[in-house]
Structures are given as structure tokens and as C-alpha cells.
A and B are shown apart, each in its own frame.
Chain A
Amino acid sequence: MNDRLPPPADLFLRQLEKALWPLSSGERDAILLELRGHLFGRAAQGKAALAAAIAGLGDPEELAREFAVAGTGEGLRKVGLPGRALVPLQLPDEVAGHRPRLKVRDIVAQVNATRLASRDGLQLVGAAAVATLTGTNFLLAQTGSGAGVEAWPVMIVRVVVIVAAMAAAYRIILSDDREPWVPKLSTFRFATAQVSLLAAIIGAVLLLIAPLSLIGAPPAVRTAAAFAAVAFFSCAAMRVQPWLAALAIDRRDVTLAAAWRGTRGRLWHIVRGWAVLVLPFYLVHILLSTLMMKTVSSPAGQLALAGLDGIAAACALIAAILLNATVFRWAARESIPEPRPFATEPPSDEFVLAARIKLDRLFEASRLENGRL
């Protein structure tokens, strides 16, 4: 059964979804779902009926204003009208389980929108990740060379800095926290949960492949089993990521259970997003790590490869965080925000005035030129 709407109807609903920002996510979902059913009904009656229905619905912005006025107090307050005690339009659970099907380009577009809408500071996260990963990669390569470098302190530094950078990244992307790098209780909760999750995955994989070692299974079988186990538990971990993000930004409403429920039916979207956005960087990282350990022995060569590896691993990390932040919004039933109009500071009044004077002069010169012609 084809459950995709024709492009004009799909476009209308996308425009309406953006315009419905004053409403709560529950109200927004209910309105979009009802109108989706309406447009499906008209589409079944033919192209002309669908076109008439879209025309009848009118301008998405105007329709959204009508809904905002007709809907709940939250919507009313955001359009500047006094809110009243109104009946919320929450979807029942069986309907809330309805999920739109997304193509890979839709997922990439949503992740990109998340990136564009985040506050400044991701560059610093990237720089911290590259520096840490490069330094620790290089030091780890020296552990067996008699340079007196122990692996475990290096790993501890690596984990602490990367987990702190991840918490800061979530706070930059998903919250208005002006001090994303300052450790808070939520940072420690996030760090504990993140490290516990990693430990649980590693432990579960080891438990699964231990019997294979005991019965003397060939290395190829053990490797394949380990990969399968890692893939299985990583997929499960992907559904937990919204909860980890919620811990980082201290959002209590997205619990572990809520994250699991909110990603129901969306694992395939997450896996495809991960395969397109994270996996390429991850593969480069594995390739460079292997090269560094097996083929290069000079410190200068190892440092160069450690740097390239650090960049690849940091890119994988940032891409994964942006994907997880997008999945958090799915689970929290929040819409993907519009890009912020100014990524840094808006232009100063003096700048705007000078630009306006310049434009006026250009316009005047153009008018005089046309007058002469």
C-alpha cells in the first residue's frame, strides 16, 4: 500500500508543520495527522479533488494562526493572546505510534537542520575532540615502544575529555545553556550513564563470544560473532541515545522508557542515518588506526597518522551527536527547529545604518543613470 502523499500535499503539510510552532507537539501532531488523513481522502478522489482541497485549506501560515487561536492556551499565549484553561489535544498512544516514513535525504536534512539551529560552540567541541584524540592516539602508539607510556592513564584522559565534550555538545545543540562546558550534576549523570552503557555493551559482547572461545571455534567465527553482537547491541544503544542526551541537558521528561517508546518504529531511520553520516568517518578512523599500529614505526609518521585519525574520529563523534540530537527531538516529539537567522551576533545598528546609506546611494545613482538614458 502506498502511504505517501503526492508532492503538493506533502509540501503543504511541511509548510504547515513549520507554521504550527506556537502549538505544543501533541497538538501539532494531532492537526497534521488529521489533515494528512483529509488529504489522503481527497487524493483518492483524484488530482482535481486534491488540488481543490489544498486550495481550500489556504495559506499554511494563515491556517496555522486559525489553529493557534482555536487551540490550547499555550498556542494562544505564543501568538500574543491571553491563554485560558483549555482541553489539551494529546494523541492517544495507539495513534501516537504512527510514524512518518523518512527517506535518507530527509534524515540528512533533519540532522543538518539540527546543526544549523544549534548555537555556536560545536567548533570548540570539534577542536577539543581532535586535539584529545590526536594526542591520545599518538601516546597509545608509543605504549609498546619502550617510551615508558602506560595505556590506562591515556585512556582515562581520553574518555574524560570526550565524554565532557559530548555533554557540552548536547547542551550547545539542545539547550540554551550559556555555559555548556561548566560541569554540573547533569554532566556527571550523563558521564556515568554513557560509560556504563559502553561497559555493558563490551561486557555483553564478551559474554556472548566467551563460549565460542571455550569450545575452540575458529577465529573467523569468533570475529563474525563479535561483529554481530556489537551490531546488535549498538542498535539497541541507538534507541537509548535520546535518554543520554536528556541526561546531558537535564531534561527529566525523556526517561529511558520514554526514549525507548519514542524511537519505536524508527530504528531503521536511525541506522540509515548512522550508515550515511557516521560510518564513513568511522571506517576511515579504523583504517588509519590499523595503519598506524601495523605499518608506521617512525614517531613523525605516527604523529601525522594520529592527527588524521583524530580528525576522522572527531568527525564521526560530531556526526553521531548531531544524529542523536535529532533522534532526541523525535523521541521528545519536538519539531526540528528552523535555522537561526544569525549564527553569531546580529549586525550592529551602525552596520545596518551604513549599509542602508550605501544602498540608498546606489539606488539614487542607478535612478539618475536610468533618467539620463
Chain B
Amino acid sequence: MDITAWQTQLRKGAAELVVLSLLTAGERYGLDILDHAGGAGGVLSDGTLYPLLTRLEREGKVKARWAMADEAKVPRKYYRLSAEGEALVAEMQRAWHEFSAFVTGAIEESAHERPPAAPSRPIPSAA
């Protein structure tokens, strides 16, 4: 069974939380975010990060500035959380913990409990 589409939806939802969480540590540029994400289990890639950052900036969740680092050959765009982004990431992290605890609990419970057996005889029709 192919679960690729389902995994894609999961990643899309999680990528925003990963990026915003990484920015709680302070200002970062794109490559820095990717390196700190360490692949993030396939949640973030080079191709998904930059459009996501563009959207987050447009939505006012992050703020950006350009700066020329000494070792860099071209200017870098540094991102940081806005006040709205800080409040949002705290809320998202809390919701994520609750959600993951609920899903993990449901999976573990289903592994230990068997559902009641279905009746073997067919139900007679009303006619």
C-alpha cells in the first residue's frame, strides 16, 4: 500500500512547526535552518524550505533582513520570529505535544486490545 500522499500531508503540516521552532533559538538563514533541522526526517528539504519561509514572512510570522556575512560571497537573508510568530509557535508546540501524545496513545492501546469479534451468522432481513 502506498502511503506517500499521506506522508506528504504529514510533512507539510510539520514543516512549519519545525522551522518556527528552530527560529526560537534566534536569527537564522536558510542553509543554517536546514543544517540544524538535520534532515528532520524528510520534513524539510532545500526545495520546501524557501517557499515556506516566503509564506511565513508574508503572513507576518517571521521577519527577515539582509546582511553580508564575512565568509559569505553573496548577502544572506536572516529570519527571526515576529511577536506573532513567537506566540504562534508556543501554541503550535503545545498542540503538537497533545496531538502526538493522543496519536501515540491510540496506537499503543490498539496494539494491546483486540476489538470484539464480529457475529459469524448473517443478520436476517426484515422482510
Contacts and interface: CB of A to CB of B under 8 A. Distances in A.
Contact of B74 (A40, A57, A70): A40
A33 B30 CA distance: 12
A285 B28 CA distance: 58
Interface stretch (A83-91, A116-124, A215-223, A364-372): A83-91
A87 B55 CA distance: 10
Sorting the interface of chain A by its residue count into under 10, 10 to 19, 20 to 34 or 35 or more gives: 20 to 34
A181 interface: no
Contacts of B58: 70-72, 86-87
A81 to B, nearest CB: 13
A98 B67 CA distance: 12
A67 B50 contact: yes
B66 A91 contact: yes
Contacts of B48: 66
B57 A40 contact: no
Interface string B40-72: 000001111011101101101000011010001
A37 interface: yes
Nearest to B72: A37
A366 B48 CA distance: 47
B66 A36 contact: no
Contacts of B54: 31, 67, 70-71, 89
A34 B30 contact: yes
Interface string A66-109: 11011110000000000000110101101100100000000000
A69 B59 CA distance: 12
B11 interface: no
Nearest to A96: B66
B66 A63 contact: no
B101 interface: no
Interface string B10-47: 00000000000000000001110000000000000111
B75 A95 contact: yes
A159 interface: no
Contact of B76 (A37, A57, A58, A67): A37
Q: Which of B45, B60, B74 lies at the interface centre, i.e. has the most chain A CB atoms within 10 A of its CB? A: B74
A63 B74 contact: no
A63 B72 contact: no
Interface string A29-58: 011011111101110000000000100111
B73 A38 contact: no
Nearest to B71: A44
A33 B66 CA distance: 10
A70 B75 contact: no
Interface of B: 29-31, 45-48, 50-52, 54-55, 57-58, 60, 65-66, 68, 72-77
Which 10 residue pairs of A and B lie closest in terms of their CB atoms, listed nearest first? Answer: A56-B46, A66-B51, A70-B55, A70-B54, A58-B47, A41-B31, A70-B51, A95-B66, A37-B74, A57-B47
Given A40-B72, A71-B54, 17 more contacts: A30-B77, A33-B75, A33-B77, A37-B72, A37-B73, A37-B75, A38-B30, A40-B74, A53-B46, A63-B50, A66-B47, A67-B50, A67-B54, A71-B58, A89-B57, A91-B66, A92-B66
